[in-house]
Amino acid sequence: MSKKLTIGMFGFGVVGQGLYDIIKTKNLNLEIKKFVIKNADKKRSLPAELFTTDAEAILGDSEINTVVELIDDADAAYALTVRALKSGKNVVSANKKMIATHLEELAAIQQEYGTSLLYEGAVCGSIPIIRNLEEYYDNELLHAVTGIFNGSSNFILSKVFNENQPYADALKEAQDLGFAETDPTLDVGGFDPKYKLTIVAAHAYGINVNPDDVFNIGIDKLGAQDIRFAKEKNFKIKLIPTAREIDQNKVVLYVIPKFISSENILFNVENENNGVLVKAAFADEQFFYGKGAGGHPTGSAVLSDITALRYDYRYEYKKHLNTNALSYSTDHEIKVYLRYEDDSLVEKLGFTKIIERYYAPDFKYVIGTINLKKITDLKSEINKTGNFIAEIA
């Protein structure tokens, strides 16, 4: 029999409202007792007495046994999550930056205090990838986990390639629809999918990697020349995070735009949708598809975690217990397309093999193989205006 959950929720934005919309249609053994919000003057759709700006109304209430954390401040989310777990309250979070940055410590706190932190809603919206990695693939050897993890950048790229919108116009539309923030760097700079990738890697491979150590580059330097090149080759560009096991028990992680052909299953993942491709030794290839953004899709993932807590569900981090532990590496060669302005950048990058090189007054590019560590070390130079880099099949 399920136990009753008495919930305190931090945040009542798009996801919080979406979660509440779903909960009120269900007959579940739970009660939301209090909401802690930042802006007390904002008009809400629920009675005013349910809202407060005082975190103690949740953290100090012994009747509340479950905390739902849906705020956008990673540092504040970390502080309240730690306190809640240590005080015996279970936590459900959708804060990918907080979890990616502190996952090893948070897992240890759960173990010590017997509490549970669940975060399905932090990775790929409505797609249940964390639970599948924990349960379905717990004894599976995974060759790679890759895909489209960010709905905002995918929406922009869909508009660019399917409707011939200029990048700036597609970004503005994404912002107008609420898919991208006023400062879109987290999404279009590849940081959001990087946080998600490090969480996925923890459950897929049993490794804890500081997201600061993972190479990420986004689509914000995408130019008309790159789009024209892709279309001439019948490619689309997608922002792709990749976790892949390589030789000698090592795993590489990186986030980079990628030219993909129509033969790739991710080719037709459009708009705010996400797609996760798992390549396994025994199960072979499996594909997960669903909404990666929006209040109701993400709210459904959060609710899945909440309802799992009624039965005392916890992540077991089974692959962390494997005696044949994997380690993180950046020593891996990938094939890239690089548009550049300064010839010296090509020399600094030290391509191991150059396959194609093109010169024109307004457009220079090189295609070749390069070590991931090299582009990681020179990220700041690659990411300057006038340059654009993408992986190429």
Give which of 245, 258, 388 is closest to 329, Cα–Cα: 245
- Which residues face 288 on adjacent strands? 276
Q: Are 107 and 133 in contact (CB under 8 A)?
A: no
Active site (annotated) includes residue 4: no
Could you count the other beta carbons within 10 Å of the beta carbon of residue 193? 32
Percent helix, strand and coil across the chain, each rounded to 5?
40, 25, 35
Q: Phi and psi for 234 in degrees, rounded to 5?
A: 60, 35
Q: What CA–CA distance (Å, rounded) separates 111 from 200?
A: 20
- Which residues face 31 on adjacent strands? 6
Could you count the other beta carbons within 10 Å of the beta carbon of residue 79? 14
Q: What CA–CA distance (Å, rounded) separates 315 from 202?
A: 11
User: Which residues neighbour 105 within 8 Å (Cβ) at sequence distance 6 or greater?
Assistant: none
Long-range contacts of residues 36-45, Cβ cutoff 8 Å, at least 24 apart: 36/8, 36/9, 36/10, 36/11, 37/11, 37/12, 38/71, 44/12, 45/17
Q: What CA–CA distance (Å, rounded) separates 163 from 281?
A: 38
Return the CA Rg of the chain.
22
196, 258, 291, 319: the active-site residue: 196
Q: What CA–CA distance (Å, rounded) separates 38 from 10?
A: 9
Q: What CA–CA distance (Å, rounded) separates 260 from 257?
A: 10
Active site residues: 196
